[in-house]
């Protein structure tokens, strides 16, 4: 069955996730949706020094938004900030150095940020695909620490700030790869059996979809969404999936094309006319499960995921404040 799911996903991707799929979908876009002035609104983008994160931050800056870049590498982040300021003329670009795989750092950052800034839109873009099992300094498997726990803590830590904001939104950049995974709460840190980085990443991305759905139910004043950017030519894809990149490089989307739906979800009025908690691709809500793929989870598993992540979160919050 896993072979079947992977094959269906890949064939589907060949049609829809490539540059050609974007160009076909874009024929139906309304350009006015994103031709908006967002001056006075504050946006936070994680993983903003390259790829889809930087492309998103740049487009928001062009539209007058205040943009907070949250990045791990100070040197690359400063180059990205300078590029965004130079190309857009927007001086309201702020840089924060945070390792999203380090929950203590996230808590410290979020608590300081809440005291100094306002926030209308959080964009969870930071992620990684580590192909061998590695542990962080906290003993956490690195993909889980970054993609799932980091996203969870960054979002929940900033919820009080978002609750105060007008037209608050949270967008999480996931992946169509999650379609091949059923939520597995029995091995969140991939300690059992052989380690497959691609499938661990896909599992993390399934977890992000579940998080978004659960948050949407619990926080009615904030619009939550999760999206698949398609297969884009980014530094992350080149480094973590070199074989895939070589095979597909002539068909991959540009970074701007990958970022288009993130931007649309972040700035357009049309996005919030749709229900909170949906999964998007090319500005449209799409199913979170393939037909016959048996990837649906019982509600108690989804609730358990939230409970476990909250336990991790509170543990590291107490350490960071101590």
Q: Which of 17, 22, 152, 201 is catalytic?
A: 201
Q: Which domains does the chain have, with CATH numbers?
A: 3-315 (3.40.50.720)
Question: What whole-number distance in Å separates Cα of residue 229 and Cα of residue 18?
Answer: 10
**Distance of alpha carbon 135 from its chain centroid, rounded?**
21
Q: What stretches in the chain show pLDDT beneath 50?
A: 1, 3
Which pLDDT score is estimated for 134? 97
Which pLDDT score is estimated for 1? 43
Question: What whole-number distance in Å separates Cα of residue 6 and Cα of residue 18?
Answer: 17
Q: Is 201 a catalytic residue?
A: yes
Characterize 239-263 residue by residue with b for buried, 16 or more Cβ atoms within 10 angstroms of its Cβ, and e for exposed. Answer: ebbeeebeebeeebbebebbbbbbb
């Amino acid at each position: 069955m896993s072979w079947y799911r992977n094959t269906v996903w890949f064939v589907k991707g060949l049609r829809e996730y490539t540059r050609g799929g974007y160009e076909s979908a874009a024929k139906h876009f309304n350009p006015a949706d994103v031709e908006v002035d967002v001056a006075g609104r504050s946006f936070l983008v994680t993983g903003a020094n390259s790829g889809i994160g930087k492309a998103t931050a740049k487009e928001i800056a062009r539209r007058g938004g205040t943009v907070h870049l949250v990045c791990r590498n100070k040197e690359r982040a400063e180059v990205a900030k300078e590029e965004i300021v130079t190309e857009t003329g927007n001086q309201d670009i702020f840089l924060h150095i945070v390792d999203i795989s380090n929950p203590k750092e996230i808590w410290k950052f979020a608590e300081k940020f809440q005291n100094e800034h306002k926030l209308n839109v959080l964009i969870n873009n930071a992620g990684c695909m580590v192909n061998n099992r590695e542990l962080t300094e906290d003993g956490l498997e690195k993909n889980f620490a970054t993609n799932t726990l980091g996203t969870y803590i960054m979002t929940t830590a900033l919820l009080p700030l978002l609750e105060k904001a007008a037209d608050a939104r949270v967008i999480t950049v996931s992946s169509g790869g999650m379609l091949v995974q059923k939520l597995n709460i029995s091995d969140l840190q991939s300690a059992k059996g052989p380690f497959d980085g691609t499938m661990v990443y896909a599992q993390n991305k399934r977890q992000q979809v579940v998080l978004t759905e659960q948050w949407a139910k619990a926080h009615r004043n904030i619009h939550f969404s999760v999206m698949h950017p398609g297969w884009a030519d980014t530094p992350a894809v080149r480094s973590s999936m070199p074989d895939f990149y070589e095979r597909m490089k002539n068909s991959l989307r540009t970074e701007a094309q990958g970022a288009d739906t993130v931007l649309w979800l972040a700035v357009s009025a049309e996005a919030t006319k749709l229900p909170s908690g949906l999964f998007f691709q090319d500005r449209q809500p799409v199913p979170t499960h393939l037909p016959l793929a048996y990837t649906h989870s019982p509600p108690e598993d989804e609730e358990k995921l939230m409970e476990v992540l909250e336990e991790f979160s509170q543990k590291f919050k107490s350490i960071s404040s101590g």
